[in-house]
C-alpha cells in the first residue's frame, strides 16, 4: 500500500511539474513570437521615404487567401492580398516601379494568370516592372506566364530556360489494391466523375483521359496567348519558341524570351534606375503592413473559402494542415454580411476541389438568402472551384473565373474500400454485429455491400446528382437538358466554362470587385471598402481563442498532452482509412505545375 501511495503522489507531482513546464514553454514561445511580430511591425512602419520600388518575391508558395492561423504572421501575402496590394500600388504616387523575383519551379496556372494580370495592369500606369529569374527550371509554362507581362525579364547568365509546356501525373492503385485483396467499390455520377478512378483503375479510362487532355490544352492555350501578349510576340511564334525548349541563358536571350542576362543585384539596380528620382527598394510585405487596404467608400463584403468543403466550422489546427471550408463557418459569414447595415454587395472567393454535398448545399442556401435580402452576390474563382466548389458558385448573380480555373465537375460519387481481405492475409478477422435495418452495416470497412445496400447508396447518389444539376440549371438559367449535356462529372477550365455558360466572365479577383461594384450601382470612380467576414483576428485574439486564459490554457495543454499519449489516440491515428462513408462532390483534378 505504501508503494501505491508513493507512485500515486509521484504521478500527481509529475503531472503538475509537467504542466507548469509546458505553460512556461508556451509563454516563452508566445513572448518570442510577439517580440518578432513587434519587430516586424516596427520595420514595416519604417518604409523608406520618397519614391519606392516594391520588391515582390514569387519564389515562396502562397495560399489563395490569408491563413487564419495565429502562426501565419510570417507567411507571404496570399494571392488575393497580393493582387489587392498591386492594385493599391498602381494608384499610389509613392510607388515608382516593381522589381519581381520570378518563381523557378512552377505554380498553379490560375495563380500565375492572376499575377500576370496584376503586373500588366500596374504596367499600364506607365511605371516600370523589372523581373529577375535565377532560372526557369520547371518545364511548366506557368512560371513564365506569371511574369511575361513585365517590361524586362532578366535571367542569370549561368541559369537555363527549361519551360516547355505543361505536365502532370495521376496515380492509379487499382492493381496494388487487388494484389493485397482490397476491394474498392465506388458509384459515380456520371462517366466523367473520375475521382474514384485512383482506387478502381490501373490507368486512364477514355473519358478520364479525354477530359484531362481537354483542360490541359485549354490551360496551355491560355498561357501561350497571355505570355505572347505580354512579350508582344505572335502567339504561334511563342508556341514554337516554348516547345523548342530547353535553352541556355544565351539562347533564351537571342530568342527574345528574356531581355537581359545578369545577376539579381544588377537587375535590382536596373529597376531603381528605371524608376528614377532617387527611388529606393521596399519589400511588398513591408508595404502590406504600412497601411490599411480599402477602408473608405461603400462597403462590399468579402467572404473567402479555400480547401476541401466539410460540415461544421472546420477550424483547422493552428500548427499546420491544409485549410478547409466549413459549411457552418462560411454560411454564417455570408448571413452576417447580409445582415450588416451598409454592406451593398457580397463577393465570395472560392478555391476548392469540392467535398461534402451537405456542407455545399448549406452555403448555397446562405447565398440564396443573402440575395433574398436584396444583395447581389459575385463569386470569384481561384485555382479551382470544382464539384462542391461549383455548387457553391451556382446561385451567384455573377461568376468570375480565371481562364485556367479548374471548375465544373458537376457530379457526385460515393463508395468504400473493403480491407477485410488484406486483414485476412495478416491473420486478422473482423466479424460485424448489427441490429436494425439492412443498411446498418453498410459502411463497414471489412465487408462488401449487399445488393440491397448498394441499391440504396446508388439511389441516394442519384438524388444528390439531380439536386446538383437542378441547382445549376436554376442558378445559370439553363435548361435541365443542357445541364445534363455539359455536366456528367466533367472538369472544365474557366475559359471552357465561359463558352458553356457556367461562368459569366473570365478575369481575376479585381474583375470580381468591379462586377460587384456594377451590380450594387456604385460609381466607377468611387473607392470601395472590402470588408472581410468574419473579420481578421489579431494574433492575440487567435491565441486567446486557441488557449483561453492562462489557467485554462495550462489545463488544456496538460489534458491534450495526456490524450495524445493514450493508446486509444495512437491507435486512432494509425487506423486512418481511405473509406468514404458519405456522398462526395469532389474533383481531385491534376493541376499542371
The domain that holds 104 is classified in CATH as 3.90.226.10
3-state SS class at 319: coil
What are the per-10-residue average pLDDT scores of the chain (593 residues)?
43 49 46 45 62 96 85 82 96 96 95 98 96 96 97 97 95 92 93 93 95 96 97 97 98 98 98 92 91 73 96 68 91 97 97 96 98 97 97 98 97 93 90 91 91 95 96 96 94 98 98 97 91 75 52 50 50 42 72 73
118 contact partners, CB below 8 Å, separation of at least 6: 82, 83, 86, 87, 508, 510
Backbone angles phi, psi at 462, to 5 degrees: -60, -40
* Same structural domain, 18 and 116: no
Are 266 and 309 part of one and the same domain? no
Q: Quick one: which H or E segment has residue 386?
A: strand 377-386
What pLDDT does residue 456 have? 95
Let me know whether 2 and 82 are in one domain: no
Report the C-alpha gap between 282 and 291 in whole angstroms.
Answer: 14
> Are 15 and 120 contained in the same domain?
no
Residue 382: inside a domain: yes
C-alpha cell at 13: 507531482
Q: What's the CA gap between 82 and 498, in Å, rounded?
A: 25
Residues 251 and 340 in one domain: no
Query: Residue 20 belongs to what domain range?
Result: 1-45
Helices and strands per DSSP (H, E), number in the chain: 22, 22
Tell me the C-alpha distance between 347 and 80, whole Å: 12
Query: What's the first-to-final CA gap in the chain, in angstroms?
Result: 67
Do residue 41 and residue 60 come from a single domain?
no
pLDDT value of position 317: 52
Per the DSSP assignment, residues forming a β-bridge with 161 are 136, 247
Q: In the prediction, which pLDDT does 485 show? A: 94
169 — alpha (psi -120 to 50), left (phi > 0) or beta?
A: beta
Q: Tell me if residue 33 falls in helix, strand or coil.
A: helix
* 538: in domain: yes
Rounded alpha-carbon distances, angstroms, from residue 217 to 147, 167, 209, 496:
21, 11, 12, 11
3-class DSSP state for residue 291?
Answer: coil
Instruction: Tell me, yes or no, whether 440 lies in a domain.
Output: no
Do both 104 and 129 map to the same domain? yes
Put residue 67 in one of left, alpha, beta given phi > 0 → left and psi -120 to 50 → alpha: beta
Provide DSSP, 83-150. HHHHHHHHT-TTEEEEEEEPPSS---HHHHHHHHHHHHHHHTTT--EEEEES-B-SSBTHHHHHHTTS
Q: What are the residues whose beta carbons fall under 8 Å from the beta carbon of 443, sequence distance 6 or more?
A: 416, 579, 581
CB atoms within 10 A of CB 49: 9
DSSP of 433-484, one letter per residue?
A: ---SSGGGGTT-TTSPPPHHHHHHHHHHHHHHHHHHHHHHHHHHT--HHHHH
Residue partners of 268: CB distance under 8 A and separation at least 6: 55, 99, 130, 132, 281
Cβ 104 vs Cβ 134: under 8 Å: yes
State the pTM of this model: 0.86
H helices of 156-275, in order, are 174-179, 197-200, 206-231, 235-243, 249-255, 264-275
Total residues found in the chain within this entry: 593
The partner residues of 417 in beta bridges, in order of sequence, read: 184
Note whether residue 471 is domain-resident: yes
Residue 318's alpha-carbon distances to 69, 72, 83, 314, 542, in angstroms, are 5, 9, 25, 12, 9
Residue 33 lies in a domain: yes
Residue 94's alpha-carbon distances to 82, 275, 323, 466, in angstroms, are 18, 11, 35, 55
* Cell 439536386 found at: 467
CB 287 within 8 A of CB 54: yes
CB–CB of 243/165 below 8 Å? yes
Both 29 and 68 in one domain: the answer is no
Determine the pLDDT at residue 525.
84
Among 228, 259, 288, the domain boundary falls at 288
Same domain, 525 and 404: yes
Instruction: Let me know whether 8 and 68 are in one domain.
Output: no
- Is 21 in the same domain as 96? no
Are both 99 and 133 inside the same structural domain?
yes
564 within domain boundaries: yes
Q: pLDDT at position 577, please?
A: 38
Considering all CA atoms of the chain, what is the largest pairwise distance in Å, rounded to the nearest integer? 90
Q: Which residues are CB-contacts of 544 (< 8 A; sequence separation ≥ 6)?
A: none
Residue 565 is assigned to a structural domain of this protein: yes
Whether residue 426 lies inside any domain: the answer is: no
pLDDT at 562: 54
> What is the torsional sign of CA 447, 448, 450, 455?
positive
Instruction: Give the DSSP H or E segment for 38.
Output: helix 2-45
**In Å, what is the CA distance from 262 to each residue of 149, 246, 309, 534?**
19, 19, 46, 46
For residue 270, the Cα-to-chain-centroid distance in whole angstroms is 34
d(CA 239, CA 257): 11
Q: How many domains does the chain have?
A: 3
Amino acid at each position: 500500500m505504501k508503494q501505491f501511495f508513493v507512485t500515486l503522489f509521484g504521478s500527481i507531482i509529475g503531472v503538475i511539474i509537467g504542466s507548469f513546464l509546458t505553460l512556461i514553454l508556451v509563454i516563452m514561445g508566445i513572448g518570442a513570437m510577439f517580440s518578432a511580430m513587434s519587430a516586424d511591425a516596427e520595420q514595416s512602419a519604417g518604409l523608406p521615404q520618397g519614391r519606392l520600388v516594391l520588391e515582390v518575391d514569387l519564389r515562396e508558395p502562397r495560399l489563395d487567401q490569408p491563413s487564419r492561423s495565429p502562426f501565419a504572421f510570417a507567411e507571404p501575402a496570399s494571392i488575393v492580398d497580393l493582387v489587392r496590394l498591386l492594385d493599391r500600388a498602381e494608384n499610389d504616387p509613392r510607388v515608382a516601379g516593381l522589381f519581381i523575383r520570378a518563381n523557378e519551379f512552377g505554380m498553379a496556372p490560375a495563380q500565375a494568370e492572376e499575377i500576370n494580370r496584376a503586373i500588366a495592369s500596374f504596367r499600364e500606369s506607365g511605371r516600370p516592372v523589372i523581373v529577375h529569374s535565377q532560372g526557369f527550371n520547371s518545364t511548366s509554362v506557368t512560371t513564365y506566364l506569371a511574369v511575361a507581362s513585365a517590361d524586362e525579364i532578366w535571367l542569370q547568365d549561368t541559369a537555363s530556360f527549361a519551360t516547355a509546356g505543361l505536365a502532370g501525373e495521376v496515380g492509379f492503385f487499382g492493381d496494388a489494391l487487388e494484389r493485397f485483396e482490397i476491394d474498392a467499390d465506388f458509384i459515380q455520377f456520371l462517366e466523367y466523375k473520375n475521382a474514384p478512378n485512383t482506387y478502381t483503375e490501373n490507368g486512364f479510362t477514355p473519358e478520364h483521359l479525354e477530359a484531362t487532355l481537354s483542360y490541359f490544352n485549354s490551360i496551355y492555350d491560355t498561357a501561350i496567348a497571355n505570355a505572347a501578349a505580354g512579350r508582344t510576340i505572335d502567339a504561334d511564334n511563342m508556341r514554337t519558341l516554348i516547345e523548342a525548349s530547353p535553352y541556355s541563358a544565351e539562347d533564351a536571350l537571342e530568342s527574345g524570351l528574356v531581355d537581359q542576362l545578369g545577376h539579381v543585384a544588377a537587375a535590382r539596380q536596373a529597376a531603381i534606375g528605371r524608376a528614377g528620382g532617387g527611388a529606393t527598394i521596399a519589400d511588398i510585405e513591408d508595404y502590406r503592413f504600412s497601411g490599411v487596404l480599402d477602408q473608405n467608400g461603400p462597403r462590399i463584403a468579402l467572404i473567402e473559402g479555400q480547401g476541401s468543403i466539410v460540415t461544421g466550422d472546420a477550424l483547422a489546427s493552428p500548427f499546420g494542415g491544409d485549410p478547409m471550408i466549413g459549411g457552418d463557418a462560411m454560411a454564417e459569414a455570408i448571413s452576417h454580411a447580409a445582415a450588416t447595415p451598409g454592406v451593398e454587395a457580397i463577393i465570395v472567393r472560392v478555391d476548392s476541389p469540392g467535398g461534402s454535398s451537405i456542407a455545399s448545399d448549406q452555403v448555397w442556401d446562405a447565398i440564396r438568402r443573402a440575395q433574398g435580402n436584396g444583395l447581389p452576390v459575385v463569386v470569384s474563382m481561384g485555382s479551382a472551384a470544382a464539384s462542391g466548389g461549383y455548387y457553391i458558385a451556382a446561385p451567384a448573380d455573377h461568376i468570375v473565373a480565371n481562364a485556367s480555373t479548374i471548375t465544373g465537375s458537376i457530379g457526385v460519387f460515393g463508395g468504400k474500400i473493403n480491407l477485410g481481405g488484406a486483414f485476412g492475409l495478416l491473420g486478422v478477422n473482423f466479424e460485424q454485429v448489427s441490429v436494425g435495418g439492412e443498411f446498418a452495416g453498410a459502411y463497414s470497412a471489412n465487408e462488401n455491400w449487399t445488393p440491397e445496400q448498394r441499391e440504396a447508396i446508388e439511389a441516394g447518389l442519384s438524388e444528390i446528382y439531380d439536386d446538383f444539376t437542378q441547382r445549376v440549371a436554376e442558378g445559370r438559367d439553363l435548361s435541365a437538358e443542357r445541364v445534363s449535356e455539359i455536366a456528367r462529372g466533367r472538369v472544365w477550365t474557366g475559359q471552357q466554362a465561359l463558352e458553356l455558360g457556367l461562368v459569366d466572365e473570365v478575369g481575376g479577383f479585381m474583375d470580381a470587385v468591379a462586377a460587384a461594384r456594377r451590380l450594387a450601382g456604385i460609381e466607377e470612380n468611387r473607392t470601395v471598402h472590402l470588408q472581410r467576414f468574419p473579420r481578421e483576428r489579431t494574433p492575440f485574439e487567435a491565441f486567446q481563442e486557441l488557449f483561453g486564459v492562462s489557467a485554462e490554457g495550462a489545463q488544456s495543454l496538460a489534458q491534450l498532452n495526456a490524450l495524445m499519449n493514450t493508446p486509444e489516440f495512437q491507435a486512432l491515428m494509425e487506423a486512418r482509412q481511405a473509406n468514404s462513408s458519405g456522398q462526395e462532390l469532389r474533383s481531385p483534378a491534376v493541376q499542371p505545375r
